[in-house]
Amino acid sequence: MYIHNLSKENSILNSFISEIRDVTKQKGGMRFRRNIERIGEVLGYELSKTLNFQTKTITTPLGLCEMDVYNNEVVLCSILRAGIPLHNGLLNYFDTAENAFISAYRHHKENPESFEIIVEYLACPDLNNKTLILADPMLATGQSMIATFEALQSFGTPESLHLISVIGSQEGVDFVASKFPESTHLWIGAIDKTLNAKGYIVPGLGDAGDLSFGEKLQK
Ligand X SMILES: O=c1cc[nH]c(=O)[nH]1
Using CB under 6 A as the criterion, which residues of the chain lie in contact with ligand X when the complex forms?
82, 138, 140, 200-201, 204, 207-209
Q: What number of chain residues touch ligand PRP (CB under 6 A)?
A: 21
Residue 106, phi then psi, degrees to nearest 5: -85, 125
Q: Of these, 72, 131, 143, 184, which contacts ligand PRP (CB under 6 A)?
A: 143
Burial class (CB in 10 A: 0-12, 13-18, 19+), 39: buried
- DSSP strand pairing (194-195 vs 201-202): antiparallel
What is the x/- site pattern for ligand PRP, positions 9-48, by CB under 6 A?
Answer: ----------------------------------------
Closest distance between ligand PRP and the C-beta of residue 144, in Å?
3
108 DSSP 8-state letter: E
At residue 116, what are phi and psi to the nearest 5 degrees? -120, 160
Buried b (16+ CB within 10 A) or exposed e, 102-112: bbbbbeeeeee
Q: Helices 30-48 and 13-21, interaxial angle, to 10°?
A: 150
Does the footprint of Mg ion cover residue 209 (CB under 5 A)? yes
Asked if 137 touches Mg ion (CB under 5 A), the answer is no
Of residues 169 through 208, those in contact with Mg ion by CB under 5 A are: 207
Q: Which is nearer to ligand PRP, 73 or 138 (CB)?
A: 138
Q: Do 118 and 105 touch, CB atoms closer than 8 A?
A: yes
Residue nearest to ligand PRP (CB): 209
Q: Which does 201 bind (CB under 5 to 8 A by kind): ligand X, ligand PRP, Mg ion, none?
A: ligand X
Stretch that binds ligand PRP, among 23-31, 35-43, 47-55, 104-112 (CB under 6 A): 104-112
Contact assessment for residue 204 and residue 18, using Cβ atoms and an 8 Å cutoff: no
Number of other CB atoms surrounding residue 177 within 10 Å: 16
- The distance of closest approach from Cβ of residue 216 to ligand X in the complex, given in angstroms and rounded to an integer, is 11
Return residues touching ligand PRP (CB under 6 A). Answer: 79, 81-82, 104-106, 117, 136-144, 172, 199, 207-209
Return residues touching Mg ion (CB under 5 A). Answer: 207, 209
